Chain A
Amino acid sequence: MPFTFSIYDFTGFTQWIDATLRGACSPFWAVLWEMVIVGVLFLAFYAVVGLYLVYAERKVCAFIQNRVGPNRVGPYGFFQTIADLIKLLMKEIISIREADKLLFNLAPFIVIVTSFLALAAIPFAKGLHPIDLNIGVFYVMAISSMGVVGILLAGWSSNSKYSLLGAMRSGAQIISYELSVGMALVTMCVLAGSLQLSVIVEQQRDLWFIFKGHFPAVTAFIIYMIAATAETNRGPFDLAEAESELAAGFHTEYSGIKFAFFFLAEYMNMFIVASLAATVFLGGWMPFHIPGLESFNHVMDFIPPVLWYIGKTAFIILLMMWFKWTFPRLRIDQLLNLEWKFLLPISLVNILIMAFIVLMGWYIGL
């Protein structure tokens, strides 16, 4: 197979790698090598995205709060988070005598592995899609809800009252808000008629779903944004950490790199929910197209899909940071009221409306 590479379509490139590997060794080893390549790339990607999301958050919150933010290490403090990571790596890992050793050590890994696994199903660009599962949306939902197990274990095994309170809050919160995230995504899957992320993206070639599905899609997007913020334990729903109430919540007793695992996983989860929102609502890597305006669409096509994807994800991440640094925190009972009394009924009705619209063909389209 000839070598081809295009920034607009990675399909040829990835197929070339596949063909070359299969030509060089047996299919089993070829798949294994591909896994290793993807794994290494993801590890690097994970570290870079995690670190630079921390940097971005610090800069964004500094902007909101009238501050400068990190500006000492490197130009504009660009290497600040790397310096922070080195510091965290060198710190002593404190182990607690009364803690449940096995679970205490296991918890950060559960949290970080789940956030890592969810990346696999995200379509980054055309052809740049590690596994195109036919239940992609379901897979990401299922994997990201596993993270709460790690948080619960962390709070339980630390044998500290503050940690336990944080973990219990987190458990109640994530289990409730998962429903709304799921319902909002199901609403869009009704419109798409598929759970496969590549199909969902492909269907938004002409118009993104948030425009195509008009009223119910916008409602689903708002519900998704609220619920996803809550599911990633970020402010104003950061009850599990609640530093002014519970010191640091479920990770009070962790130090050094184990704490960094929780910290990175939080940012990675934010990246995943933002990617999913970008993919399902805003067309993933699809450029912005307006049906009928051919010349405009051609200009939009010149922007590489990877940039579209990154731009949309960054926009949603920015929205989430904006929430966090503007709103005060909710109380646990208000949080659960919001979910069970408002978001869930609204999203249930929303699915019905969406199903009706799809049935009648009332969505905006060609």
Chain B
Amino acid sequence: MTEEIIIKEAPEQEISINMGPQHPSTHGVLRLVLSLKGEMVQKVEPHCGYIHRGIEKMTESMTYQQIIHLTNRLDYLSAHMNNAAVCLAVEKALDIEVPERVKVIRTIIEELARIASHQLWWCSFGMDLGGLTCFFYGLRDREKILDIFEETTGSRLIQSYNCPGGLMADLHPDFQRKVKEFIVYFRKLLPEYDELLSGNIIMMERSKGIGVMTKEQAISYGMTGPSGRGSGFSCDVRKHHPYHAYDKVKFNEVLRTEGDTYARYMVRIDEMRESMNIIEQLIDNIPAGDFAVKMKPIIKLPEGEYYQRVEAARGEFGIYIISKGEKYPYRMKFRSPNFSNLSALDALTRGHKIADLVAIGGSLDYVIPDIDR
């Protein structure tokens, strides 16, 4: 008797994997539900809300001075920019012109914060790709900036240095010297970043042509900041809607048209150089004067709607206030850059491998408290 051997081809099965909320490369408590075929990612479904704190609701029972401290807790790496957004909104609403000195100092600190944020991004991007050494190189340099912050603003990570009408305190006498020293130091060490990671053949293979996003797609997803500029979307708020002292300095908006992970990477590396250029132009020209204008202890915004946007380290941070003339805002809405950038993750990663998902996630540079608010 002959036995018939039937070979059935097993149907290709999609498996779903929970990546997070506890996972080394989701950079926090983000949960991604992946559908995989083998190693290929078919679908990514981000589930937010694991550290939702209801900050927008909390602001409805807080004065504007208090809200500033809450905005620190959104994107903690660009805390200074978030503070500035609230201050600018309040100052615009009350028609207060802050002194030139305040504008310049705010700009310098903001650019320092941007460099620090991009350094930390570089650390974690290196780690996502498996190059653990990057982490320590980036943090070594970031430490210098945090030391400067500690001296002048009183704290290292979330400074709350801005307040409506100006700054909390004047500059530390060592500030200018230390910033200049840092610029000299970091100009020497930034090429080290390129040697270690940017020029590495494995890194280029891993990131070039991975997660390509066209300009149209980037605009439709609302990708801003370095992630959007990597796709050629000119979205730098500092350029298009200048605030602080950005209209007085010369700097280039870093744009790349490739739209892949490597482009997003290089935009951030080049932005660190541009930030140093901005600081160099301003550090010797800090005008003398007051560091704040006198404000009333209780700020009441006139009835109306106000919107202010700033360029945070990860993109456009917007703040929308509806005031009924009370000391508390009636409603406050934050437009956080990470939330929009995360929405593009699914489109970016389809058809790529898990390893690419991690690299793309790293290049989007999400900060989870900013997504969940």
With known contacts A244-B24, A244-B25, A332-B355, A66–B140 Cβ distance under 8 A: yes
A238 at the interface (CB under 8 A from B): yes
Q: In the complex, are the beta carbons of A66 and B136 less than 8 A apart?
A: yes
The complex places the Cα of A244 from the Cα of B126 at a distance, in Å, of: 10
Least CB distance, B197 to chain A, in whole angstroms: 7
A325 at the interface (CB under 8 A from B): yes
Instruction: Enumerate chain A residues within 8 angstroms of B24, measured Cβ to Cβ.
Output: 243-244, 247
Instruction: Enumerate chain A residues within 8 angstroms of B136, measured Cβ to Cβ.
Output: 65-67
Add 15 more A-B contacts to A245-B358, A326-B133 (CB < 8 A): A61-B133, A66-B137, A242-B130, A242-B355, A244-B24, A325-B132, A327-B130, A328-B126, A328-B129, A328-B131, A328-B197, A330-B202, A330-B206, A331-B356, A334-B202
Q: In the complex, are the beta carbons of A161 and B17 less than 8 A apart?
A: yes
Contact with B along A323-339 (1 / 0, CB 8 A): 00111111111100000
Instruction: Enumerate chain B residues within 8 angstroms of A64, measured Cβ to Cβ.
Output: 133
Contact residue range for chain A?
Answer: 20 to 34
A235 at the interface (CB under 8 A from B): yes
A186 at the interface (CB under 8 A from B): no
A-B contact pairs, 20 of them (CB 8 A): A65-B132, A65-B135, A161-B15, A165-B354, A236-B130, A244-B24, A244-B127, A245-B354, A245-B355, A325-B133, A326-B131, A328-B126, A328-B200, A329-B130, A330-B202, A331-B353, A331-B355, A332-B39, A332-B353, A334-B206
A177 at the interface (CB under 8 A from B): no
Q: Which A residue sits closest to B354, measured CB to CB?
A: A245
The complex places the Cα of A236 from the Cα of B353 at a distance, in Å, of: 17
A285 at the interface (CB under 8 A from B): no
Contact with B along A226-270 (1 / 0, CB 8 A): 000000000110110011111100000000000000000000000
Least CB distance, B175 to chain A, in whole angstroms: 26
Smallest CB-CB A-B distances: 10 pairs: A329-B130, A328-B129, A328-B131, A65-B136, A244-B25, A331-B355, A328-B130, A244-B128, A161-B17, A328-B202
A288 at the interface (CB under 8 A from B): no
B205 at the interface (CB under 8 A from A): yes
Instruction: Enumerate chain B residues within 8 angstroms of A162, measured Cβ to Cβ.
Output: 17
Contact with A along B292-312 (1 / 0, CB 8 A): 000000000000000000000
Q: In the complex, are the beta carbons of A333 and B353 less than 8 A apart?
A: yes
Interface centre among A165, A236, A244, A333 (most CB of B within 10 A): A244
Instruction: Enumerate chain A residues within 8 angstroms of B356, measured Cβ to Cβ.
Output: 331
Interface centre among A61, A67, A161 (most CB of B within 10 A): A161
With known contacts A65-B136, A245-B25, A326-B196, A334–B131 Cβ distance under 8 A: no
Chain B positions near chain A (C-beta within 8 angstroms)? 15, 17, 23-25, 39, 126-133, 135-137, 140, 196-197, 200, 202-203, 205-206, 353-356, 358
Q: Which A residue sits closest to B140, measured CB to CB?
A: A66
Q: How many contacting A-B pairs (Cβ < 8 A)?
A: 78
Least CB distance, A148 to chain B, in whole angstroms: 18
With known contacts A67-B136, A331-B206, A334-B205, A244–B130 Cβ distance under 8 A: yes
The complex places the Cα of A310 from the Cα of B129 at a distance, in Å, of: 33
Instruction: Enumerate chain B residues within 8 angstroms of A165, measured Cβ to Cβ.
Output: 39, 354
Least CB distance, A158 to chain B, in whole angstroms: 14
The complex places the Cα of A236 from the Cα of B24 at a distance, in Å, of: 18
Interface centre among A169, A236, A238, A246 (most CB of B within 10 A): A246
With known contacts A66-B140, A242-B130, A331-B355, A247–B23 Cβ distance under 8 A: yes
Least CB distance, A321 to chain B, in whole angstroms: 11
The complex places the Cα of A66 from the Cα of B200 at a distance, in Å, of: 20
Instruction: Enumerate chain A residues within 8 angstroms of B39, measured Cβ to Cβ.
Output: 165, 169, 332
Least CB distance, A163 to chain B, in whole angstroms: 11
The complex places the Cα of A26 from the Cα of B137 at a distance, in Å, of: 64
Which of chain A's residues 264-293 have a Cβ closer than 8 Å to chain B? Answer: none
Least CB distance, A48 to chain B, in whole angstroms: 26
Least CB distance, B370 to chain A, in whole angstroms: 21
Least CB distance, A241 to chain B, in whole angstroms: 10
Cβ-neighbour of A329 out of B23, B196, B202 (below 8 A)? B202
Q: Which A residue sits closest to B202, measured CB to CB?
A: A328
Instruction: Enumerate chain B residues within 8 angstroms of A327, measured Cβ to Cβ.
Output: 130-131, 200, 202
Instruction: Enumerate chain A residues within 8 angstroms of B200, measured Cβ to Cβ.
Output: 327-328
Least CB distance, B360 to chain A, in whole angstroms: 12
Instruction: Enumerate chain B residues within 8 angstroms of A328, measured Cβ to Cβ.
Output: 126, 129-131, 197, 200, 202-203, 206
With known contacts A66-B140, A244-B25, A328-B197, A236–B202 Cβ distance under 8 A: yes
